Structure 1
Amino acid sequence: SFFRLITIHLILQMAAEAMGDREAISAGDQRLTYAQLDHAARRVASRLQPGQRLAYLAENSPVMPAAIFGAALAGTPFVPINYRLAAEQVDALMARVAPALLISETAKPYADIDRISLADVATGTAMEGEAPDEKGGIAIELFTSGTTGEPKSAILRHSNLMAYIFGSVEFMSAGEEEASLVTVPPYHIAGISAVLSSTYAGRRMVQLPNFSPQGWIDLAQKEAVTHAFVVPTMLQHIVEHVGTNGGTLDLPNLRALSYGGGKMPLPVIEKAIELLPHVNFTNAYGLTETSSTICLLGPDAHRDAMASSDAHIRRRLGSVGQALPAIELQIRSEDGPVCAADEVGLVYVRGEQVGGEYKGIGSQLDDEGWFPTKDVGFVDSEGYLFLDGRADDVIVRGGENISPGEVEDVLLGHDGVKEVAVVAVPDQEWGEAVGAAIVCAGIAPGVAELCDLVRDKLRSSRVPAKIIFMDELPYNETGKLLRRVVRDQLAGQ
């Protein structure tokens, strides 16, 4: 494959040569053009010793894109670390990263790790020449936010990331006035892909290190932001904030708003479309292991679903759309055969951008190149993918598999339910039963009323054996629902 011969540094090299004077990044008072970003990347590369990986333990800053491309230029992996982890968790990851050069303001000394600050990257010599031919070398190592056990280190090769960029972005396709608001942290695959795709398109990156609804709105207005990506919890906070502050969202420059990284509650996306009728909404579904996006629900599909009175089309607003042209998608039953349309099973994907590989564990692709995403879902007759949660989240009640998603959707249909998380709770008779944690919209509905709703819409085996009410559901900072925390809460009641 052509992709096996090039590195992601080529993306920056092309941008620097074709549009070097164009602004690449704005972060507070700092501004960098593509030529300056390439120079910064070359300074990062010159700091690396042979055999060192490049670790990054800091918030979003102009150094982060320079570090991604600098590592590629030096022929070594870029390894971002979650700066929100507890100290002992960071220590454990640093031990796995060594030997490395670490870019960080705050890190303590570690064995076999040289540390430089963000300011240090602004000085020193710049590496000349081009990146080595990688022939499938590793570009990025991302520690997954493992909800159980030790985080796995997902490996993405240059060939995976270049296949994704070449397959989904057009070079220099952005106008000079276009600006993308980046709020996703550096250690999230969406943060990595934002850098690669913005640089290739020539779209200025506006960095917001710490998200708050008002901060996001203010920066979008100040920088005339045209594009943005948010996780569902961020959009929910923005919509709620606007609701309590006059009810209008004045973002005339915003053209496109993408979201992903978790399940989007239907009322939130409906309200957002209502607040921003001039904006193109896109739902992007992807995984760390697939170099970011593999399915898209595009702006036209959003509009068609919102305008339709046909329930079949309307429900697509709750889907993650159709597979990208370069991605193949299959739903398989647990014992192997491919499922028919609308039949729930396990989601498998295949394509050049799919890494599906972990450090020390190896490739998870099967003999034909298919990757098991561990997500459960179904595809409708038009190829729209509907996700039903993780395979690990399935509730097994007396041998019957129950998807949390189907129960959640029914409960969310009640006007008094704002958010819901359905998980397995221990049951002496059935092994597991359905438990539900509910965040109310206004007055709390009665438990019996909610149980009746599930019984009427589904069947008695799906009725929650236990319901608790919470002020808010637990999410991590990238918008993933922490079901294990909900399980613990329910078990403790």
Structure 2
Amino acid sequence: MNLTMLLDMAVDGFGDRVVIGRREGGITAAQLNDMSIAGAAAIRESGADAVVYLAVNGPAFPVAMFAAARAGVPLVPVNYRLGAEQLQSLLANHPRAIGIADEAQSAALAQAGLTVLSPEQWLDTARRPVEPVADESDSEGDEAPAVVIYTSGTTSAPKGVLLRHENLTSYVFGSVEFASAEPDDAALISVPPYHIAAVANAITSLYSGRRTMVLEQFTPAQWLQTARDEGITNALVVPTMLSRIVEAEVDKNVPTLRSLAYGGAPMPAAVIEKALQMWPEVGFVNAYGLTETSSTIAVLGPDDHRAALASDEPAVRARLGSVGQVVPGIELEIRDAYDEVVGPGIAGSICVRGDQVSAEYAGIGRAVDDRGFFNTRDKGYVDEGGYLFIGGRMDDTIIRGAENIAPAEIEEVLLRHPAVLDAAVVGVPDEEWGQRIEAAVVVRPATVIDVDELRSYVRATLRGSKTPERIVYWDELPRTETGKLVRRHVLERLVAQVEKV
């Protein structure tokens, strides 16, 4: 099934409902359909084989996605924060694309030989009246690539992940009930367009009938004010955003807010506990997924959050730090170093299978085993109740002597300290041990804590071999816009600091 079928269903079910933008002057489902038809015509006229989107999130993004689907070409949302060399390398993969770019980025697309429209010009183009074309979508149907998303490249060069119509529609049908939103429901999205969550929320919100609002530049005060002004009922944030909202000294009352989803990076226990106490009536949802899996594959729902917070049983309380249970349609296995499936409580590689799992890279193919399972390269384990706990990336493992150490375990302890806002732990090359453990920490404003005191705090919970040998204080850690820690930048800076001494 092509993505355009979701839009066709929305038009039939609630065509006059505003589904994009503000309550006043937003785009209805019927208008979005007309704009996708006109946009597809413009794509065909240009002879483009892809639509490169190099701009901030906004109404132009979903219009581009559905127009591309109707034209039978993929949408390629690109990180507008990439360096010039990396951006040019990526654009070289799409020489025949049409580009949609903000003014600051248009020169890069033009230099790559692409025809460039601003988001405003694109929307004007999509508003022109055209006659629908019979059999609009590509003959490949749901087998064709719908979106190509380049991975964040936090540990290596970005790879283009191919998400086919079949993958994305399978995710929608397994996650959302059609037309389930109330007429006044509205979602506030605070993730950039080149992240899988932006794609997933655009299509699931449309399918449910929920209006979406995008906050282009996040600040706690602006997020809260927008949520109040627009009657936001559902919101999506990354952990660093929720942390800043919780810590902000502003009015946090949002009377319409019913659900808040978060994901993209580990959530510090102290932050989610404060948020649950701050908004006890709000249903919190932790969503875990990857670009390669078309977004969410496991969910910790509102009832799970409340049960964990209220429980005195350690195993249940610990689930507040889990990502919940796998969604319908996903099969999960935890495998050891010998590729054998392990039981509850034993950590290993997280492997998944399902129709929404793409695991396909441009120029490479599908990265699945002979049973169709994709190794996410995330470490984790499942408890007796089927709750999945994430332990970081396999590539992040610190090998000190003959011992494998997970940085996430040490970071979790550091983040429990009341003075610590953020923490990163890495393995630094060491002649004697192979790697030594070092940490970079962000402390709360106007807070002073001795390094030795912080090391003792870690040692009191973990054994000495897992205590960082060096801890430094930074104003902030290098993270992507979606909150992912860029460990290679942490390592580079720590090594550089030592070399300067």
TM range (shorter): over 0.9
In structure 1, distance between residues paired with 2:410 and 2:82: 32
Instruction: Give the letter for the 1:17 counterpart.
Output: D
Matched AA of 1:426: P
Matches for 1:254-333 after TM superposition, within 5 Å: 254-333=257-336
Q: Does 1:183 align with 2:187?
A: no
Kindly indicate whether residue 367 of structure 2 is the aligned counterpart of residue 364 of structure 1.
yes
SS of residue in 2 equivalent to 1:254: coil
Q: Distance in 2 between matches of 1:59 and 1:463?
A: 41
Structure 1, 126-135 or 254-263: larger mean CA deviation: 126-135
**1:118 alignment partner in structure 2:** 119
Does structure 1 residue 139 correspond to structure 2 residue 156? no
Q: CA deviation at 1:443?
A: 3.7
C-alpha separation in 1, matches of 2:231 and 2:12: 26
Q: 2:157: which partner in 1?
A: 150
Shift of residue 57 of structure 1?
A: 1.1
The question of whether the paired residues in 2 share the 8 Å contact of 1:94 and 1:110 is answered with no
Residue 224 (1) aligns with residue 231 (2): yes
Q: Which moved more, 1:456-465 or 1:284-293?
A: 456-465
CA distance in 2, matches of 1:27, 1:390: 39
> SS where residue 205 of structure 1 aligns?
strand
* Contact 2:36/2:66, CA 8 A, preserved across alignment: yes
1:451 and 1:268 map into 2 onto residues whose CA distance is 22
Q: Please give the residue correspondences for 1:173-252 in structure 2 after superposition, counting only pairs within 5 Å.
A: 173-241=180-248, 244-245=249-250, 248-252=251-255
How far apart, in 1, do the equivalents of 2:261 and 2:432 lie? 45
Aligned pairs, number: 484
Instruction: Give the letter aligned to residue 281 of structure 1.
Output: F
Q: Distance in 1 between matches of 2:450 and 2:480?
A: 29
Q: Is the 8 A contact 2:155 2:486 kept in 1?
A: no
CA distance in 1, matches of 2:429, 2:305: 39
Report what 1:401 is aligned to. 404
Aligned identity (percent) is 46
Corresponding position of 2:20: 25
Matched residue type, 1:132: D
Match for 1:81 among 73, 78, 83? 78
Matched, 1:39 2:65: no
- Which residue identity is paired with 1:360? G
Q: Which moved more, 1:42-51 or 1:129-138?
A: 129-138
Report the residue type matching 2:84 in the other structure: A
Amino acid corresponding to residue 490 of structure 2 in structure 1? V
Give TM-score scaled by structure 1 length: 0.95
Q: CA deviation at 1:266?
A: 0.9
Identify the residue that residue 176 of structure 2 maps to in structure 1: 169
The SS at the match of 2:93 is: helix
Q: Is the 8 A contact 2:430 2:436 kept in 1?
A: yes
The superposition leaves residues 242-296 of structure 1 with CA deviations (integer Å, 9 ceiling, x where unpaired) of xx23xx5211100000000001111111111111111000000000000000000
1:308: Cα distance to partner? Answer: 0.6
The gaps in structure 1 that reach 5 residues or longer are 1-5
Deviation at 1:51, TM superposition (A): 5.2
RMSD: 1.6
List alignment gaps of at least 5 residues for structure 2. Answer: none
Q: How far, CA to CA, are the matches of 2:216 and 2:454 in structure 1?
A: 40
CA distance in 2, matches of 1:487, 1:62: 38
* Cα distance in 1 between the residues matched to 2:427 and 2:338: 23
| Secondary structure of 2:432's aligned partner | coil
1:39, 1:377 → 2: CA distance?
45
Q: Which residue of 2 aligns with 1:55?
A: 52
The code of the aligned residue for 2:14 comes to: M
Distance in 1 separating the partners of 2:161 and 2:401: 35
Query: Which residue is 1:450 aligned to?
Result: 454
Distance 1:183 1:30, change over 3 A: farther
2:20 counterpart of 1:15: no
**SS of match in other structure, 2:148:** strand
Corresponding residue number in structure 1 for 2:478: 474
The answer on whether the counterparts of 1:27 and 1:62 sit within 8 Å (CA) in structure 2 is no
Q: 1:97-141 deviations in whole A, cap 9, x for unaligned?
A: 221011124212144422223233323443433423415111100
Cα 1:28–1:114 change in 2 (3 A) is: farther
2:219 alignment partner AA: S
Question: What is the SS of the residue equivalent to 2:21?
Answer: strand
Is residue 101 from structure 1 mapped to residue 98 from structure 2 by the alignment?
Answer: yes
User: How far 1:145 moved relative to its partner?
Assistant: 0.8
Question: In the alignment, residue 290 of structure 1 is paired with which amino acid?
Answer: T
Query: Does the CA-based 8 Å contact 1:184-1:190 persist in structure 2?
Result: yes
TM-score w.r.t. structure 2 length? 0.93
> Is residue 65 of structure 1 aligned with residue 51 of structure 2?
no
Distance 1:390 1:117 in 2: 37
| Larger deviation, residues 73-82 vs 204-213 | 204-213
Alpha-carbon distance in 2 for matches of 1:79, 1:473: 28
1:463 correspondence with 2:467? yes
Mean Cα deviation higher: 284-293 or 407-416: 407-416
Decide which moves more: 213-222 or 142-151.
142-151
Match of 1:128 among 116, 124, 133: 133
**Maintained 8 Å contact 2:48/2:98:** no
Residue 3 of structure 1 corresponds to which residue in structure 2? none
